[in-house]
Structure 1
Amino acid sequence: MHAQIILFDGFDPLDVVAPYEVLYAGGTASGGAVSVELVSAEGPRDVVSGTGGLVLRATAALDPARAGLILVPGASGRVGEPGEVPEHDAVAGAWQQDEFIPVLLGRALTTELPTLLKAARDNPEVTLSAVCGGSLVLAMAGLLEGRYATTHHMGLDMLNATGVHAVSARVVDDGDLVTGAGVTSGLDLGLYLLERMVGPQIAHAVEELFAHERRGTVWRHVGPVPAGF
């Protein structure tokens, strides 16, 4: 399985680094069955995150025709010029402060990213995934209508407003769409993806290596609907 993790200006670092490390470790544990790279819509470039001006390098252009996994992170920080180092971080309160996060996510949609994501969505050999506000990127691009997904708990109403069945769960598996909630859920999402695509023994080995126990039950649209809740 090859995983492409997308970078865009203002991305949230933990949304990227947590699943990257999990998937990379899964590749090592599986003898190379998993590979992972950082990509952008524009191709190789340095990309400035929304937290403290941390820079990560995209080493390739997002390729929607390549089989495997494509993962979209969320955003963090204040609104500035694209590529600009923010003067102040607003990670903890960003959802309340003039809706900085939706603005940053919306800016990502002014690039070629929506076109590339649509091509990936239409590729039967691609599984789309997202952490936190990454689900909103997909939803705002019109790619998740009628699907089941999760995001940061403060963005669930916005997700619903785009025609998505928003689920308050740590990880939601909707077939070729697998999404994670708030930023640290990127660890749980990565581990679940390893279990689903490579096997539980590999996922368990990485879980032990990182001293992290996955939280919550992975939600899927199967089985009876709970009564009395």
Structure 2
Amino acid sequence: MHAQIVLFDGFDPLDVVAPYEVLYAGGTASGGAVTVELVSAEGPRDVVSGTGGLVLRATAALDPARAGLVLVPGASGRVGQPGEVPDQDHDAGAGAGAGEWQQDEFIPVLLGRTLTTGLPALLAAAKDNPEVTLSAVCGGSLVLAMAGLLAGRHVTTHHMGLDMLDATGVHAVRARVVDDGDIVTGAGVTSGLDLGLYLLEREVGPRIAHAVEELFAHERRGTVWRPEGPVPAAL
């Protein structure tokens, strides 16, 4: 499995680094069955995160034709009001190019600004590729939802963004990890560890995932929610 983790201006570093390290370690443990790289819509470039100006380098352009996994992180910045949706013609900075943003902007604004780049079209092409699984951590689910790619699907995100998911026609699920087939999502920032481990288990096997779990001294939390089985009665 090849994983492409997307960088965009204002991304949350932990949303990227946690699954990157898990998947990279899974590749080592599996003898190369998993590979991972950092990409951007624009191609190779330094990308500034929303946390203290930390920079990570995208080494390639996102390739929606490449089989495997495409993972979208959330953003790091000021926390907007619950239910706040950026105005794409003003708050989201219509026409803004790479790097044209300020530190400490509201997270919904940073997420919405991705819609003014080439990222939505690339993600749409990846979603149409039957050999690609789309994944997201935290606010990355909102990027996919605002791009119109998650309507009718079961998805999770940070608990503060669940109402925003509902507003886009998504079935928001309050769970640590949600597996809806070719869409697999994680909740708040540290869930990137759990998401990465689950993806290893799903794609490579539980023995590889367990070896990485032990290496990182991290015990996964919560049940992976799937749209299967009987609907539970009210508790």
1:200 & 1:172 partners in 2: Cα distance? 17
Q: 1:68-116 CA deviation, whole Å, 9 max, x = no partner? A: 00000000115998526855x58xxxxxxxxx11110110110000000
The offset of 1:228, in angstroms, is: 1.8
Q: Deviations over 1:110-131 (max 9, x none)?
A: 0000000000000000000000
Between the aligned residues of both structures, percent identity stands at 88
Q: 1:106 aligns with which of 112, 119, 124?
A: 112
Instruction: Give 2:16's aligned residue.
Output: 16
Amino acid at match of 1:208: E
Root-mean-square deviation (CA), in Å? 1.5
Tell me, in whole angstroms, the C-alpha distance in 1 between the residues paired with 2:72 and 2:41: 11
Q: Which residue of 1 aligns with 2:68?
A: 68
The aligned counterpart of 1:30 is 30
Letter in 2 for 1:110: T
**Partner Cα separation in structure 2 for residue 57 and residue 27 of structure 1:** 20
Is it true that 1:196 corresponds to 2:206 in the alignment? no
- 1:174 maps onto 2:190 in alignment: no
1:130-169 paired onto structure 2 within 5 Å: 130-169=136-175
Match of 1:83 in 2: 99
Residues 32-71 of structure 1 correspond to what in structure 2 (within 5 A)?
Answer: 32-71=32-71
Answer whether contact 1:53 1:85 (CA < 8 A) is retained. no
Compute the displacement of 1:190 (Å): 0.1
The code of the aligned residue for 2:165 comes to L
Instruction: Answer whether contact 1:53 1:86 (CA < 8 A) is retained.
Output: no
Query: Is the 1:52–1:86 contact (alpha carbons within 8 Å) kept by the matching residues of 2?
Result: no
2:146 & 2:35 partners in 1: Cα distance?
28
- Contact 1:50/1:85 (CA < 8 Å) preserved in 2? no
Tell me the distance in 2 between the aligned counterparts of 1:85 and 1:17.
22
- Distance, in Å, in 2 between the alignment partners of 1:223 and 1:26 is 30
Which residue is equivalent to 2:228? 222
Aligned partner letter, 1:171 = V
Q: TM-score, normalised by structure 2?
A: 0.90
4+ residue segments displaced more than 2 Å? 78-87
Code of the residue aligned with 2:4 in structure 1: it is: Q
Please tell me the residue identity of whatever aligns with 1:191.
L
User: Which residues of structure 1 form unaligned runs of 5+?
Assistant: 91-99
Q: Which amino acid aligns with 1:11?
A: F
Give the 3-state SS of the residue equivalent to 2:126 in structure 1. helix
**TM-score under structure 1 normalisation?**
0.92
**Contact 1:135–1:149 (CA<8 Å) still a contact in 2?**
yes
Question: Secondary structure in 2 aligned to 1:109?
Answer: helix
CA distance, structure 1, for counterparts of residue 108 and residue 119 of structure 2: 16
| Number of residues of Structure 1 aligned to a counterpart in Structure 2 | 219
Contact preservation (8 Å) 1:133, 1:155: yes
